[in-house]
Amino acid sequence: MKTLKFAILLVLAFAIPVAVSQETPITLEAAKEQGRNKSRYLKETKAAADTSDAIPKANVATFQKSVQPILIKSCVNCHGPKKAKGRLRIDQLNPDLLTGPDVEKWREIFNAISKSEMPPENEPDYALSPTNLGSIVDWLSEELNKASLVRRNSKEHSSFRRLTKYEYDYALQDLLGLPYALANKLPPESKTEDGFKNNSELLQISATQFETYREIALKALKRATVSGERPKAVTYIISMQQELDKASSAKNAKTFDKSEASYRKNKNQQHLFNRETGKGVLFSSLNSMPQAKAVAGQIPPDSQVALVLPEGKELKLNLDRYLPDEGIMRVRIRAARSSMNPDEYASLRLILSAHTSNNADFSEVISSRDIPVTASDDKAQWIHFDVPLNDVQRNPFRKLATTFPRRDEFLHIRNVSNATVGEDRLKVLIDYIEISAPFFEQWPPKTHTNIFFESDNKHDEKVYGREVLNRFLRRIWRRPVTSQEVDKFVALFAKYRPEFSTFEDAMVEVLATALATPEFLYLTQRATADDKKSPAKISEFELASRLSIFLWSSIPDEELLKLAEQGKLRKPEILSDQVKRMLADPRARRFSQNFVEQWLGLDGLNSVTHIPAGPLKEAIQEEPIAFFEEVLKHNHSVMDFIHSDYAVVNERLAAHYGMKKVYGPHFRKVPIAPEMNRGGLLTGAAVLAMNSDGKDSHPLKRGVWMLKRILHDPPPPPPPDVPEVDLTNPEILKMTLKERIADHRNKAACASCHSRIDPWGIAFENYDALGVFRTHINNKPVDATSELFNRQTLAGMDGLKRYLLTDRQDQFARAMVHKLTAYGLGRPLTFGDRAEIDNLTAQFRRRGDGLRDLINLIVNSNLFNSK
Amino acid sequence: MNIKSESLSRRTFLRGTGVALALPWFETFAAGAPSSDETPKRFLSVYHPDGVGIPLKSDPAWKDWCWFPRGGEKDFELTKVLDVLQPLRNDITIYSGLSHPAARQVHGHSNADQYLTGAPIGGSGPYQNSISLDQVYAEYAGDFTRHSSLVMSTNGGVGGPRGAQTQSFNREGRPIPAMNKPKEIFDMLFVTSGKDAAARLARSKSALDLLTDHTRSLARELSSKDQETLKQYLDAVRDTELKLAKAQKWIDTPIPKVDTRNLHLNAEPKEAKLYFQTMYELIYLAFLSDSTRVATFQLGRENGEGPHDLLSLAVGLGGAHGLTHEVKKPNGWKNLGTYNRYQAEEFGRFVQRLKDTQEPTGKGNMLDNTFAMHGSASSSFHLSRNYPIISAGGKNLGFTNGRYLKFGKGNEDNQAGAGIDTDSGWQGKVQVEELPLAKLFVTVLQRLGIKTDSFGGYTGSLSRV
């Protein structure tokens, strides 16, 4: 794509906010209001784009009468026979956009005018009157829409695609009821230029991948189902009362008494303590052996003895070598807080480690999340962790007959807390721990009876086998199945059965094959007789799948399937109820996470190395997702992504931003004042850090990011013949980054692109590589002022936000609609979708830009309901 | 770790922050598709833990018992440690100045795991490895043989994280269990019936038939554009069928008969000489019968203890690991050197046997078509730098032997880290320049016919090899 330059001087009625800065600038919130009033979408009086079946015709008459004369007068001098800047000759463009070949060029002309890049400010001779400008814009926008409608039916891209790695994983988890990752073995997905991983054009399949699907499915099914008697669990029970007795009588025991002066020091150490006697002993680790007669799940009497676990400390339990190879390990801990100061929090984390020989050790966090301790001392709570033992790094030597390398495995229970200071700082009190594996909630487990359910026909393998298959296939194909379809699987089962000792073992092999069918692995859309009518609608079942993949990254549940079966799902009120229900479901978290990660390109954080793994990195990564969830939950305007007067942070991130009085690891909405220099996504550490070079800010990266992710206006790739920045040149090495960029921009070959990219990024200069706000770089005041291509001055981040909110709301709103729709459809959007996207954007803006409204608009749209 | 960051061009970067990374799944990596009757190209890696002896020049032991040769590329002089290889001088190459960068400041005991992978596994905490050199080649060469690779070690199994008892790791970075009992290895190679495998194959075939059938009927209900997409799925099924057909071919092919005269199938590591020789003989027979073209063999484990640390009994010495700690005791350098000499002697015997055997289905002798390497991930006491590596053979693959190749800068006489016997040694700052061992791996893969220019994140091959 070549950048266009034309010499139309354009004085958009609203594009002169540069000179108003004499007075006190309005607040950003006021700028939002002001900008909204300028929306083209809100001003449009005509009805939404006509999507009826009538065949539109090009309006060449209007072009000849009222557009062509203006173009000849104002444009052709630079884009005509004399000069053809940007290789564009406006005089040669075909004005029939519906059938002519120049629609792409007209689209670029329209964009350049909308972005007020053209005509250049410095060519006053070619100025257009507002009336003339209106004539061009009105004609172009109508013709482009008509052209888009005509092309919509050419079906360049289809939503028929296989599930992504993460969708496949969630689908298996939901189907089988196994709440942990199952598909790690699949290769990672590629991404489009837009960052989306669910794009139908990219989702390929290979033989190795196909075999991996079969392997994963069989393994997962074997985990979900059981055979034979309930296995005997290995159970460890640790009572702190007993541990205190043992520890106090040990040689070198560091005992103390509450009455002693040393207690003041000891009470903030890790220790066992008897409340009744006031006696304690320093204590950090213990050895435990499974008890043959122990029964898990008991509630022991309250104890006067507790382990006192301060912030950052851990209890290390040597479990020897008796944990089984597979199954869930349930760790039950009775815990409480030592004090109830609401500013202090504490949570528990599990770690498994082994020290097999010198310099051959490992440790791994095995709890999927930290569990907060919230109960007061007089009302202790039960905390339980379920850990799939197959999935964690185990000590491979645990079954050796000899004692070297060492066979033990250690479980660490760590207190993750913010209570680091104060005489009476918060500690976690633990009086009882129980470890049991394999753990089953019931026998046979629910994951088993989901597949092998109770039936009167259970005694008849043939009949029951068909029942099992029928139910399973309906669920995984997300549609009713015919008996002929089931027949094939029944036949396969009959073939397998003699080779296996049990019905279940043979059936699991057949079910694994079913999970390798394209109708499970792909999002299908069947052709029907209806397809002649365009655009053809997808079926209600296909809608159910599209909806659940969109909002849950997984297959539909029973309720969605039932509604589809009844033919009710598409009813607007039912659809909107379902969207509401789905967004309230915990699975909706997957939508926020996957959409935001892909939209913003958050995995860029993994390719920068300056943020060490840990709570800060986790918080930085989580913030945009938590922010998105907040906006989604309350149907806030998407303009909050540009700027908001609140932030969504946790304690670690708040500290990073210099915000006070935010305690605890959970994210919550916090009001912020303008002088915090935060609010919205642009000033989040994630965006700032991943668009750095690891040491300092990187204006170019930030500019490109801004154009691609926020404005959906990606810069063209650099032409092959532009010079690289010569880092062997000592003159260039001496320059600051901003100077280097400016130097590069000043080269003629680079200028045309960089003058469109760099200024956006320079406006971010007040934020360093970690996203910390700064006023100085190397003792020099930060210069974050830049000038956009259209002569618009951006005064730092505030100026950037102000400009976006005042003058670019339509562009951003449309970008949001585009990105969410592309994600929802799982395919690239093309010119043929333009009219629909415009239509959606208009409705979205009229409804007030709410994020939740946008999701409803999308799922009700023609696009979402069509093939 | 972002190896490429320095050379990340402005252009690459401009394509996107969050650049679209189209990651192939390394399936069809190899150049062309040679048929199975071409002359086999083979790969062997032998690993020994605990490194080698490198005394200071000022030490009287230096002259005889420094592992590395003296002199230059062609005129090098072997010390008493490697003089057993003198008859094979023109068939071997000795390397210095190579190591995996991420491990250079990690205790040598942790590093057997990354010898063939180059992964930054670190010294503690969570553990993640990546695919090993032999397995990259096995993914390709395994198509032509009954077994894709033969993974052996004296200790067997996988060992533990940072205490590997195998050199081989799969594409996911998971260890591949090594076999250590000669009898079991022999049975797997030359006895197993394959009845279970046949039943499994038959089941897979029925499943694939069903899937093909079901997919075809689905295709009839799709638009022509969507049928195109679905075709890719059908192709994947078809390719899988071809793989099954290959597997079936092996089941139907009679197991080769081999000469078992030199095998002592019940030998144990404490009968060091018998065990050593039997294990090498098994590799030889597996190669000769073209049962596999890829083998790894690990002698003992890092930080060894117990019976498997007793290979040094072959030369009448105590625990092998202990020898590295006792270099400053009387005869210390000599003892360690003597054990290393014995390792080289057995390796040499194997190399000679390949050299003496005419290639059954091709040109030259078996050694000409085999690249066999022998080495460790530490040199001096627990020091994970300047890996002591010997390679042999590979003439028909493009290797020119009879050379001592020094890479890197500032350590031409191998004195960096020489003579150390405390932990401050391996923890010390890296003062000299070494090249990533992965560059040698790239060269090896290329010569074995794999189209690649990088390994483990390192791009480029090694010049002069």
| Selected residue of A202, A362, A484, A531 to mutate for chain B interface (largest B Cβ count, 10 A) | A362
Task: Give the residue-averaged pLDDT of A213-230.
Answer: 95
**Is pLDDT of A164 > 90?**
yes
B41 domain-assigned: yes
B24 domain-assigned: no
Check CB contact of A185 with chain B, cutoff 8 Å. yes
Check CB contact of A56 with chain B, cutoff 8 Å. no
| Selected residue of A221, A359, A606, A702 to mutate for chain B interface (largest B Cβ count, 10 A) | A359
- Provide the pLDDT for residue A23: 56
Name the residue in chain B with its Cα closest to that of A489: B210
Angle at A248 between CA A247 and CA A254, to 5 degrees: 95
How far does A602 lie from chain B, in Å, by closest CA?
8
- What length is written for chain A? 867
Q: Do B229 and A200 touch (CB under 8 A)?
A: yes
| Selected residue of B213, B226, B239 to mutate for chain A interface (largest A Cβ count, 10 A) | B226
**Is pLDDT of A589 > 90?**
yes
Helix (H) or strand (E) holding B370: strand B370-375
Instruction: Give the CATH number of the domain where residue B68 resides.
Output: 3.40.720.10
Nearest CB neighbour to A360, from listed B1, B223, B303 = B303
Q: Are residues B362 and B419 in the same domain?
A: yes
Q: Give the domain-ending residue among B207, B237, B254.
A: B254
The two tokens of residue A381 are: 């709570």
Name the residue in chain A with its Cα closest to that of B423: A359
pLDDT category of residue A24 using cuts at 50, 70 and 90: low
- Backbone angles phi and psi of A532, in degrees to 5: -60, -40
B118 domain-assigned: yes
Amino acid (1-letter code) at residue B86: Q
Q: Are residues B454 and B379 in the same domain?
A: yes
Q: Please give the Cα distance from B398 to A476 (Å, whole number).
A: 53
Q: Do A492 and B305 touch (CB under 8 A)?
A: no
Amino acid (1-letter code) at residue B282: L
CB pairs under 8 A between A and B: 213
Check CB contact of A701 with chain B, cutoff 8 Å. yes
How far does B415 lie from chain A, in Å, by closest CA?
25
- Provide the pLDDT for residue A532: 60
What is the number of other CB atoms lying within 10 angstroms of the CB of residue A399? 10
Give chain A positions within 8 Å (CB) of B110: 359-360
Give chain B positions within 8 Å (CB) of A492: 206-207, 210
Q: Give the domain-ending residue among B237, B254, B271.
A: B254
* Cα dihedral A399/A405/A408/A409 (nearest 10): -90
Give chain B positions within 8 Å (CB) of A365: 126
Closest CA to B53 of B68, B37, B32: B68
CB B299 within 8 Å of CB B166:
no
Terminal CA-CA length for chain B: 27
Q: Are residues B171 and B127 in the same domain?
A: yes
Give chain B positions within 8 Å (CB) of A202: 22
- Provide the pLDDT for residue A529: 65
- Provide the pLDDT for residue B3: 35
Give chain B positions within 8 Å (CB) of A516: 207, 211
Residue indicated by tokens 């059965």:
A497
Q: Please give the Cα distance from A652 to B229 (Å, whole number).
A: 47
**Is pLDDT of B378 > 90?**
yes
Domain boundaries, chain A: 18-152, 234-437, 591-807
Q: Is the peptide bond before B55 cis (omega within 30 degrees of 0)?
A: no
Closest CA to B304 of B315, B312, B293, B296: B312
How far does A519 lie from chain B, in Å, by closest CA?
8
B97 domain-assigned: yes
Q: pLDDT by residue (tens digit) across A592-636? A: 999 999 999 999 998 888 999 899 999 999 999 999 999 999 999
How far does A251 lie from chain B, in Å, by closest CA?
31
Q: Please give the Cα distance from B453 to B366 (Å, whole number).
A: 27
Q: Are residues B336 and B421 in the same domain?
A: yes
Give chain B positions within 8 Å (CB) of A404: 305-306
Give chain A positions within 8 Å (CB) of B305: 357, 404-405
Who contacts A806 (Cβ-Cβ below 8 Å, separation ≥6)? Answer: A17, A31, A34, A35, A38
- Provide the pLDDT for residue A431: 96
**Is pLDDT of A8 > 50?**
no
Q: Are residues B249 and B356 in the same domain?
A: no
Q: Give the domain-ending residue among B221, B254, B287.
A: B254
Nearest CB neighbour to A718, from listed B11, B109, B230 = B11
Q: Do B163 and A405 touch (CB under 8 A)?
A: yes
**Who wins on pLDDT, B31 or A85?**
A85
Q: pLDDT by residue (tens digit) across B137-148? A: 999 999 899 999
Nearest CB neighbour to B211, from listed A359, A365, A513 = A513
Count Cα atoms within 13 angstroms, Cβ side, for B205. 13
Q: Do B233 and A205 touch (CB under 8 A)?
A: yes
Angle at A804 between CA A689 and CA B11, to 5 degrees: 45
Count Cα atoms within 13 angstroms, Cβ side, for A453. 11
**Is pLDDT of A202 > 90?**
no
Q: Do A717 and B14 touch (CB under 8 A)?
A: yes
The two tokens of residue B354 are: 């390949």
- Residue-wise burial string across A635-661, b where 16 or more C-beta atoms lie within 10 A, e elsewhere: bbbbbbbbbbbbbbbbbbbbbbbebee
Closest CA to A828 of A101, A192, A266, A184: A192
At the top level of CATH, the class of A234-437 is mainly beta
- Provide the pLDDT for residue B17: 30
Q: Are residues B338 and B320 in the same domain?
A: yes
* Cα dihedral A175/A177/A182/A187 (nearest 10): 30
* Number of structural domains chain B divides into: 2
- Provide the pLDDT for residue B369: 97
Who contacts A782 (Cβ-Cβ below 8 Å, separation ≥6)? Answer: A765, A766, A774, A775, A776, A796
**Is pLDDT of B372 > 60?**
yes
Task: Give the residue-averaged pLDDT of A679-693.
Answer: 96
- Provide the pLDDT for residue A749: 61
Residue indicated by tokens 């154009």:
A707
pTM here?
Answer: 0.85
SS3 sequence of A704-746: HHHHHHHCCCCCCCCCCCCCCCCCCCHHHHHCCHHHHHHHHHC
Question: Which DSSP category does A25 fall into?
Answer: P
| Selected residue of B17, B172, B215, B243 to mutate for chain A interface (largest A Cβ count, 10 A) | B17
% of chain A at pLDDT higher than 70 = 92
Q: Do A160 and B161 touch (CB under 8 A)?
A: no
Q: Please give the Cα distance from B154 to B297 (Å, whole number).
A: 8
The two tokens of residue A145 are: 């829409």
Check CB contact of A531 with chain B, cutoff 8 Å. yes
Task: Give the residue-averaged pLDDT of A376-400.
Answer: 95
How far does A354 lie from chain B, in Å, by closest CA?
9
Pairing between β-strand B403-406 and β-strand A285-287 as defined by DSSP bridges: unpaired
Give chain A positions within 8 Å (CB) of B107: 359
Q: Do A364 and B172 touch (CB under 8 A)?
A: no
Q: Do A362 and B22 touch (CB under 8 A)?
A: no
Q: Are residues B426 and B300 in the same domain?
A: yes
Q: Are residues B167 and B297 in the same domain?
A: yes
Q: Do A492 and B206 touch (CB under 8 A)?
A: yes
Helix (H) or strand (E) holding A105: helix A103-114
What is the number of other CB atoms lying within 10 angstroms of the CB of residue B33? 8
Domain of B280 in residue numbering reads as: 31-184+263-459
pLDDT category of residue A49 using cuts at 50, 70 and 90: very low
Looking at the DSSP assignment, which residues form a beta bridge with residue B297?
Answer: B46, B152
Give the DSSP per-residue string, B141-173: HGGGSSSS-EEEESS-B-EETTEES-S-B-TTS
Q: pLDDT by residue (tens digit) across A235-280? A: 999 999 999 999 999 999 999 999 999 999 999 999 999 999 999 9
Give chain B positions within 8 Å (CB) of A519: 214, 218
- Provide the pLDDT for residue B20: 31
- Provide the pLDDT for residue A104: 81
Question: Which DSSP category does B433 fall into?
Answer: B
Check CB contact of A263 with chain B, cutoff 8 Å. no
Q: pLDDT by residue (tens digit) across A392-444? A: 999 999 999 988 899 999 999 999 999 999 999 999 999 999 999 999 999 99
Name the residue in chain A with its Cα closest to that of B171: A185
Q: Are residues B276 and B353 in the same domain?
A: yes
- Provide the pLDDT for residue A2: 40
Q: Do B20 and A190 touch (CB under 8 A)?
A: yes
Q: Is A51 exposed, middle or buried (0-12, 13-18, 19+ CB in 10 A)?
A: middle
Q: Do A405 and B229 touch (CB under 8 A)?
A: no
Query: Which residues of A, range 393-422, sit inside 8 Å of B by Cβ?
Result: 393, 395-397, 402, 404-405
**Is pLDDT of A20 > 60?**
no
Check CB contact of A601 with chain B, cutoff 8 Å. yes
Q: What's the mean per-residue pLDDT of chain A?
A: 89
Pick the range with the lowest mean pLDDT from A353-357, A802-806, B352-356, B360-364: B360-364
- Provide the pLDDT for residue A752: 67
How far does A141 lie from chain B, in Å, by closest CA?
30
SS3 sequence of A556-620: CCHHHHHHHHCCCCCCHHHHHHHHHHHHHCHHHHHHHHHHHHHHHCHHHHHHCCCCCCCHHHHHH
Task: Give the residue-averaged pLDDT of A65-91.
Answer: 83
Q: Do A360 and B215 touch (CB under 8 A)?
A: no
Closest CA to A220 of A186, A169, A263, A271: A169
Q: pLDDT by residue (tens digit) across B213-268? A: 999 999 999 988 899 899 999 999 999 999 888 888 888 888 889 999 999 999 98
The two tokens of residue A628 are: 């998105």
C-beta contacts of B252-258 below 8 A and 24+ residues apart: B253/B146, B255/B190, B255/B191, B255/B192, B256/B190, B256/B289, B256/B290, B256/B291, B257/B190, B258/B190, B258/B285, B258/B288, B258/B289
- Provide the pLDDT for residue A25: 74
Q: pLDDT by residue (tens digit) across A105-155? A: 888 888 777 666 777 777 777 777 777 777 887 888 888 877 877 776 555
**Is pLDDT of A514 > 70?**
yes
- Provide the pLDDT for residue A726: 66
Q: Is B60 exposed, middle or buried (0-12, 13-18, 19+ CB in 10 A)?
A: exposed
- Provide the pLDDT for residue B13: 32
How far does A823 lie from chain B, in Å, by closest CA?
16
Closest CA to A187 of B452, B27, B190: B27
Q: Are residues B283 and B222 in the same domain?
A: no
Nearest CB neighbour to B23, from listed A190, A690, A725 = A190
**Is pLDDT of B25 > 60?**
no
Give chain A positions within 8 Å (CB) of B214: 485, 488, 517-519
B2 domain-assigned: no
Q: Are residues B438 and B318 in the same domain?
A: yes
Q: Do B27 and A717 touch (CB under 8 A)?
A: no
CB B11 within 8 Å of CB A718:
yes
% of chain A at pLDDT higher than 90 = 68
Q: B51 in the Ramachandran plot: left (φ > 0), alpha (ψ -120 to 50) or beta?
A: left
Q: Are residues B107 and B50 in the same domain?
A: yes
